[in-house]
Amino acid sequence: MAFDPKGVPFVLTAPDTESTEQEFSPWKQMVYASVPARFAPRFMYKDKFDQPRYPDGSAKVIPYGVRVVEEILLNHYSRDDVVVCYPDDLDKFVGPKTVAVGVGAHNPIGTAFSTGVYSNIFGSTARPINAAESERIYLHPAIQRHRPKVIVGGAGAWQIAKTGSTTRLGVSCVINGRAEGMALELFQKAEAGEELPKFVQAPEPGIEQLVIPKKRSTYGVIEMNRGCGRQCAFCSPTLETRISVSPEQLAEAVRSNTSNGGRIIFPVSEDIFMYGAAAPFYIPNADKILSLYESIANVPGVDYLPLSHATIAPAVVNPHLMKEMSKILLPKSALRNRFSTHSDKRFLAPLIGIETGSPRLAALTMSGKSLPFDIHDWQEIVVEGIRILNENNWFPVCTFIVGLAEETEDDLRQTLDLLHRLKKYKILYVPSIFTPLEDTRMSGAKALKAKALTQLQWEFVMTAWKQSRDFGEMSDRSRVYFRWGTKVFYHARGRWVHGKQFKWPAMRFAGDPEEELSKHLYLNWDKDSDAKIQKPRLIPKHRKMKLEDLARINDNQPFNIYGTSRDTEADKSNPLKVLSATTTAANGQAGAAAATTATTASGSVNGAASKELDQPVAGD
């Protein structure tokens, strides 16, 4: 099919950093949110962006969200009127007849969590690669010449409005939130020549508005479920209605990818262990999870099947589920590491948010992460969970947040203690600096800047990085480069950007002897942790049950589509208020917010955040 050389009415695109399927590892994209563009000339990585095209020049691989909008538009317009293309091809499709260009945005300005520490370690003006690649779209000559409306959506679209960048980038409209319910209306307004709103807060779509794209998405992304329910104050998906996409719809999405040459299927979720769960939602529906992954793995053409986001508590609840999932997924993993006991050295790497080692801070900001266990046993849950995962060749990507609201030095020491306890395990650490995200209960909290980090905070960040570096495959020559490169960076720039508090943590990363470092830092990394391993306690409502029986509570339960996570009582002026200020003083109330905001399957919200944990969770 040939498109009109004078321009296609609706053109959709996304930065190359979000379309690349580099080495079939979704985590490779994290590099582009971390490395400063000015220290990585484009010629060094642009070949990684080379992606296949259809004969008509349109993009064969593009982010899932862009595919969703494409499908919405194609339900109302002809194929001549809608095209999805890569940024370098915009001049072929944008012309005088182009009405609007839709752009998928993940980190357009560079203010995502990962950017806070990884890019800004080089200085506050160090814009990451994916932000630079985003700007190439907005300032593309074809868009500048023909001036179509530019409509931006996606997980990072809010950054453009928040930083006041709409005029500079020539953006006509920013959509915040899931756009299924209003994307068509905005493109129709553009077609009619109407003025578009500068910023739109999209209403949460219902399951009847769920769209299954008919073409291939980057990494074969398919939407496994939405929402969460664990009520972390710094996270936005937890405020969405919890929806599990039916196996039939997922099978359709898988076929859309494999029929277009896709070799990887990536079922994305805020927590894979909530898929199809009945009440209580935090106990995995093992049968449905195994059935889903097995059905995908058995589809001809699916060579790779990575894991998405997960929580750590389900590994402790049901170790057998980890073992059975490993049998299905390890043969489909693209990841290899020398520490794996798999015959082919393959491993699995779900993204798991640990965030802090302080039970006090965890109770304040993320008390639902521990369910069905007591949040005050957070360290025990993490250590036992990681042990179980490692036994099954799951080497998780674990995130930590430095600078959460109300974080104290004692909280940081406890987080370092947890890091020390995890020393012998195989983990890729991703520490980040707290950034208040839009549509979270902590959106009004103060962001921490890299130059404001204390020595304790830097000690955690650099020690975590050291562990990640040692986990990876690295030659002796590379280790020498890291050692001397770190020292050169510190003396040439690091000490001026971050101050004297950066010195000793940086020297640990460089590999200086712990005998000297321990005189200046909290931890002596060469010594083993003396913390005693204890079993985590269940919350009061479950304490009369054996863990083995609790793990099977959802066995033979029907597939559950709905659950509601939204907390209408959230107070953004006091982001921790909804989590109960008494959590730091009363063990019985730890995790109360998460338990009492859990909801019935019919979708009603129980917002009574002050109830005790031994009260029944709504719908259980």
Compute the Cα dihedral for 245, 248, 249, 254 and give only its sign.
positive
Q: Specify the DSSP class assigned to residue 128.
A: B
Judged against a pLDDT cut of 60, whether residue 170 lies above it is answered with yes
- Residues 380-403, mean pLDDT to the nearest whole number: 96
Q: What pLDDT does residue 26 have?
A: 64
What pLDDT, in 10s, does the model give residues 129-156? 888 889 999 999 999 999 999 999 998 8
Distance CA 539, CA 591 (A): 9
- List the Cα angle 64/225/108 in 5-degree steps: 40
| Residues paired with 244 in a beta bridge | 225
- pLDDT in the model for residue 573: 43
Q: Taking each helix axis from N to C terminus, what angle separates 286-297 and 247-258, rounded to the nearest 10 degrees?
A: 20
Positive or negative torsion for Cα 475, 477, 478, 483: positive
> Measured between alpha carbons, how far is 408 from 405 in angstroms, rounded to an integer?
9
* 457 CB-side CA count, 13 A: 22
Mention every residue, 6+ apart, whose C-beta is less than 8 A from residue 600.
Answer: 279, 564, 606, 618, 619
Decide if 160 contacts 111 (C-beta within 8 A): no
pLDDT tier for residue 96 given thresholds of 50, 70 and 90: very high
Report pLDDT for 443.
72
Q: How far apart are the first and last CA of the chain?
A: 54
The band of 358, judged by pLDDT with boundaries at 50, 70 and 90, is very high
Predicted confidence (pLDDT) per residue in 502-545, tens digit: 999 999 999 999 999 999 999 999 998 888 888 999 999 999 99
Angle at the Cα of 309 (from 305 to 312), degrees rounded to 5?
A: 115
Q: How far, in whole angstroms, is CA 241 from its chain's centroid?
A: 18
Residue type, 619: G
Q: Average pLDDT, stretch 366-372? A: 93
CB 230 within 8 Å of CB 311: yes
Residue 616 has pLDDT above 70, yes or no: no
For the segment 582-591, the average pLDDT, to the nearest whole number, is: 34
The three-class DSSP label of residue 248 is helix
| Lowest mean per-residue pLDDT among 12-16, 291-295, 437-441 | 437-441
**Could you report the per-residue pLDDT of 33-78, keeping only the tens digit for each?**
767 777 777 877 777 788 889 999 999 999 999 999 999 999 999 9
Lowest mean pLDDT among 150-159, 383-392, 554-563: 554-563
Per-chain mean pLDDT for the chain: 84
Residues 6+ apart with CB under 8 A from 576: 233, 364, 365, 405, 406, 441, 442
| Tokens encoding 47 | 């070949």
CA-nearest of 194, 82, 83, 91 to 144 is: 91
For residue 15, how many C-alpha atoms fall within 13 Å in the half-sphere facing its CB?
27
Which of 610, 97, 591, 211 lies closest to 373 in space, CA to CA?
591
Q: What is the mean pLDDT of residues 314-333?
A: 97
Higher pLDDT, 288 or 569: 288
* pLDDT higher than threshold 70 for residue 606: no
Pairing of strands 309-310, 242-244: unpaired
Structural domains of the chain sorted by starting position, each given as residue range(s) with its CATH number in brackets: 10-208 (3.40.50)
Residue 358 corresponds to which amino acid? S
pLDDT over 60 (residue 569): no
State percent of the chain over pLDDT 90: 58
Residue 563: pLDDT band (50, 70, 90) is: low
Residue in the structure block whose two tokens are 């073992």: 323
**Residue 217 region by backbone torsions, left for phi larger than 0, else alpha for psi between -120 and 50, else beta:** beta
Measured between alpha carbons, how far is 539 from 371 in angstroms, rounded to an integer? 7
Gap between the Cα atoms of 538 and 551, Å rounded: 12
In the prediction, which pLDDT does 117 show?
59
Residue 534's CB is within 10 A of a number of other CB atoms, namely 11
Q: Pick the residue with more confidence: 585 or 122?
A: 122
Class of residue 547 by CB neighbours under 10 A (exposed 0-12, middle 13-18, buried 19+):
middle
Q: Which amino acid is at 311?
A: T
- If one compares 574 and 277, the residue with the highest pLDDT of the two is 277
Predicted local confidence at residue 597, as pLDDT? 28
Question: Taking 60 as the threshold, does the pLDDT of residue 110 lie above it?
Answer: yes
pLDDT in tens, 81-93: 999 999 999 999 9
The two tokens of residue 509 are 């990363």
What band does 214 get if pLDDT is binned at 50, 70 and 90?
A: very high
- Span 412-431, mean pLDDT? 95
Strand ranges (E), 313-395:
351-355
Rounded to the nearest 10 degrees, the angle between the axes of helix 183-191 and helix 64-74 is: 60
- How many residues make up the chain in this entry? 620
- The predicted model gives 277-306 an average pLDDT of 93
Residue 438 above 70 pLDDT? no
509, 466 in Cβ contact below 8 A? yes
Which pLDDT belongs to residue 131?
Answer: 86
3-class DSSP string for 417-464? HHHHHCCCCCCEEEEEECCCCCCCCCCCCCCCCHHHCCHHHHHHHHHH
Mean pLDDT of 483-489: 90
Helix (H, G, I), strand (E, B) or coil at 618: coil
| Average pLDDT, integer, range 342-348 | 96
- Return the amino acid letter for 119: S
DSSP summary character for residue 217: B
> What would the mean pLDDT of 546-569 be, rounded to a whole number?
71
**Distance (Å, rounded) from C-alpha 324 to C-alpha 284?**
13
User: Given this model, what pLDDT does residue 137 score?
Assistant: 94
Return the pLDDT at 25: 66
Q: Is the pLDDT assigned to residue 614 strictly greater than 90?
A: no
Pair 399, 352: CB distance under 8 Å? yes
